[in-house]
Amino acid sequence: MSGISDYTAPLEDIRFVMDHIAGLDDLTALEYYRHADRDLVRSVLDEGARFVQDLVAPLNRTGDLEGSSLLDGEVRTPAGFRDAYRRLVQAGWGGIDSPFEWGGHQMPRVVGLAVEELFTSANLSFSICMLLTSAAARAVLVHGTEEQKSAYLPKMVTGEWSSTMDLTEPQAGSDVGALKMRARPAEDGAYRLEGTKIFITYGDHDMAENVIHLTLARIPGSPPGTKGISMFIVPKHLPDAGGGPGRPNDLKAVSLEHKLGIRASPTCVMSYGEDAGGAVGFLLGGADEGMRNMFTMMNTARISVGLQGMAAAERAYQQAAAFARERRQGRAAGAVRDSLIIEHPDVRRMLLTMRSNVEAMRALLYRTAMHQDLSRHSPEEGNRRWHDRCLALLTPVVKAWCTDLGVETASIGVQVHGGMGYIEETGAAQHLRDARITPIYEGTNGIQAIDLVMRKLPMDGGRFAGEYIDSLRPAVRGCEDLGWAEAAKSLSAALEALAEATGHLLNEAGDPNRRLAGATPYCTMFGMTAGGAMMAEAGAAAAAAGNHPKQVTARFYLEQILPQAAALLPAVRAGADGLFAMDAASF
């Protein structure tokens, strides 16, 4: 028995979703993306698949076993990571969807997300460095001065210089407003930062020649709370006159966290100003505008973290399916000798659940990336506004739903292996351990649900959420046209329940606790239902194309998974009384 399976890029399904759910042809018809024709996109995905399968995926297990280390003040990544990253930079994978102006390839975000999926499924720990750099580059692009963009973006886009988000402090986790790091103005026009940041992913490492920290701190005299936070560019090495990495700055990694998963990714405690009176930082955007800048970076990252949930589930599914095709255990009904476990109905149910979950997540994520593309580059202002609203509404949903479901799906993968799944040597446990961080970082999923019900539902006076739900309703007719009566019934019920839940929460504006009490089940309901509508669209497209496996997974999701969405309505409507019926001391 092979044990740990290789990663095979699911190019057929990626292309199907890009064509039929994310509207690739419509995107590449836009002037901004006109160079990115179908043949070019296909070649990018083919080459990306070869790159990660040959070079990145084999490092997933060895990186987990070795982990990163801090030796003599230097962070060292596992064997093979440094060479793989060097080759990534040389091949230009870091700038797939970045503008030509800064050295990118200016592909649609949908294509960038597809490439991101390949790297993330192949090796989640390795891919995080790219994710963070891309998100930080977006913040510099939107908020930086021309001088800052010229100094940093070309090397951030290529990946020659990586980047981080330095937000969290020991006393300030999700409550960013509680941070204490200080930034003192200096005579040279820059600032000197002092303090400590924790949980800084790739805060230091040996793969890139420089690390650019986008750091939140307070300028003396700024207001308390989130209103008094500014963002600073703080390089590990200050750029020299030629634009290369010059003298070391006054910040360093003082320890690495010992984690449940993503062990190959160095998670650093960073100390600022410990040795030379303060780390040199340059204000990004205006003073006290750090929260705005942070959300530019964070919202980009949140979609990518949602992708991490799906990508971990894809890798777990591939391994579980490979195991089930080889493992003999028990006799299937009618068999005369021990059967492959894939012949048992319960194992079939688990594998179909895993695969249809992955496909529903992929469809919703790629559709969200399509909204991102059109919100920026559609020639019509009204169309840009619509897609911008869709992007805002779906960002917390895909981050929360896809990461929760990624953990659940990876857990099913362990179950398919049985007792062997609980043994580290098979590798199934790593996918679950790696996935478990995704519901936590870049804003816990509870925070995503709060954002959804408190900020996104009230958009346009609460009308837009209803408009978006209505835009999903034609998918029901698609099921009916296929003769999928139960699937149509299930999707219709989920949409009606989602509309009712939306109206209920909007009517609870006078009692925040009642709205907040329903936030998490509502967010889950929203993800399941929107994902179900995408699966219905996929099923109709698959029927037209003669794609039988996609029809099977779409129908399975709609008939056997989606009914759970409507069942969440009572939890959304229950209010806060039950949550506060027991005093804190009794927990």
List the catalytic residues.
442
Torsion (CA) 458, 459, 460, 464 in degrees, nearest 10: -100
Distance CA 94, CA 138 (A): 13
Distance CA 221, CA 224 (A): 9
φ, ψ of residue 248 in degrees (nearest 5)? -65, 140
183: left (phi over 0), alpha (psi -120 to 50) or beta: beta
Distance CA 148, CA 313 (A): 38
In terms of C-beta density within 10 A (0-12 exposed, 13-18 middle, 19 or more buried), how is residue 510 classed?
A: exposed
Angle between helices 109-122 and 290-324 (to 10 degrees): 50
Judge contact between 387 and 378, C-beta under 8 A: yes
Sorted by sequence, the CB contacts under 8 Å of residue 262 that are 6+ apart come out as 124, 125, 128, 434, 437
**Paired residues of 232 in beta bridges:** 215, 283
Lookup result for tokens 């399509």: 370
Lookup result for tokens 């400590």: 196
Strands 69-71 vs 74-76: parallel, antiparallel or unpaired: antiparallel
Residue 570 CB: number of other CB atoms within 10 A?
Answer: 12
